[in-house]
Amino acid sequence: MKFVDEVTIQVEAGKGGNGCLSFRREKYVAKGGPNGGDGGDGGDIYLNAVPGLNTLVDYRFQRRFRAQNGAPGEGSQCTGRCGDELNLKVPPGTVVYEAESGELLGEVLQVGERLLVAKGGHHGQGNTRFKSSTNRAPRKTTPGQPGEARQLRLELKLLADVGLVGLPNAGKSTLIRAISAARPKVAEYPFTTLHPNLGVVRIETDRSFVVADIPGLIEGAADGAGLGIRFLRHIARTHLLLHVVDLAVAGEADQVVRDIRTIEAELGRFSAELAVRSRWLVFNKLDALDENEAKQHQQAILDELSWSGPVAAISAVAGTGCKELCFQVMDHLMQEES
């Protein structure tokens, strides 16, 4: 399935039903009064976060949605039926903006949350409403009001505990395959991952966390270069960033340091909060170096960075160190929650 994380749709709530003009007419009743009923309210439109969805692909082709109109009032003071509300199913983490103004309308973060995005029109009043001591036979009614019509921009922000960031081909997709049931495409050319992938890492029966494989970032990503800003927003809600580094990259330690600094700069340019988010260095591809060479290369990089944060060394292909890394991440997340 193609991943779609941003769509624009048109929504139109239902129109309110018109009020009814009617008079009571019964045999042997000399002076029947007004008995026109009110119309029904138009149907509202809601966004409803449901389980099992992780894309907005359903809205790629159908982009116009209308709720049911309210029914007009009837005689005998019968109120018209209200229009049925329309629930549009979206994945948790969907953020809604007014397309033209860019105004934030709200978001649905958890399964079961609903957001009203278009209010149905108010019902019209029947002539019974206008009866008075001085106007015994009113012929006045009011029409139902039109429902709200809006153009909305839906944007999906993946809800994950942990985000994998790094340059293209650092091994993020291989890592998420190694620690979860997610099966992203893996290849040697840049930008193999064209959309974020979610995987559930299960430590024990009741202990698990969600990890998101974010497509490779490059210099200028915050300005839209490469796959760019489109995917930076997906790590906005993660609790922890795992910065995956290709330990076997050609060149000296200073090249790896420059690569790390590039990602740091793009995170900071996109969001000041991301710049201070908990971030661990994960040196990948230990299998490509012998043990002593790997340790020396790793230490040289850490010295050059003056890095004082957590560090892990793994081989995502061979599985070396992956289990230990998952346990450490789980412990960190549980400590944050407590």
Question: pLDDT digits over 313-336, tens only?
Answer: 999 888 899 999 999 999 998 888
In eight-state DSSP terms, residue 23 is B
CA-based nearest residue to 17, from 62, 63, 84: 84
Task: For the chain, state the CA radius of gyration.
Answer: 29
Q: Which two tokens stand for residue 109?
A: 């973060």
CATH of domain 162-337: 3.40.50.300
One fold for 1-156 and 162-337: no
pTM: 0.62
Question: Cα(95)–Cα(102) distance, rounded to whole angstroms?
Answer: 12
- Residue 64, beta-bridge partner list: 10
pLDDT-derived band of residue 288, with 50, 70 and 90 as boundaries?
Answer: confident
CA-based nearest residue to 256, from 241, 264, 268, 246: 246
10, 109, 125 from 17: Cα distances, Å: 22, 34, 9
Question: Cα(159)–Cα(31) distance, rounded to whole angstroms?
Answer: 67
pLDDT of 217 strictly over 60: no
pLDDT of 13 strictly over 80: yes
Question: Cα(281)–Cα(312) distance, rounded to whole angstroms?
Answer: 6
Residue 228 CA, distance from chain mean position: 18
Which pLDDT does position 12 carry in this prediction?
Answer: 97
The structural domains of the chain, with segments of one domain joined by +, span: 1-156, 162-337
Nearby residues of 303 by Cβ (< 8 Å), 6 or more positions away:
none
pLDDT, greater one: 278 or 83: 83
Question: Cα(18)–Cα(20) distance, rounded to whole angstroms?
Answer: 6
pLDDT, one tens digit per residue, over 219-234 is 443 344 434 445 566 6
Kindly state which CATH superfamily the domain 1-156 is placed in: GTP1/OBG domain (2.70.210.12)
Which pLDDT does position 305 carry in this prediction?
Answer: 87
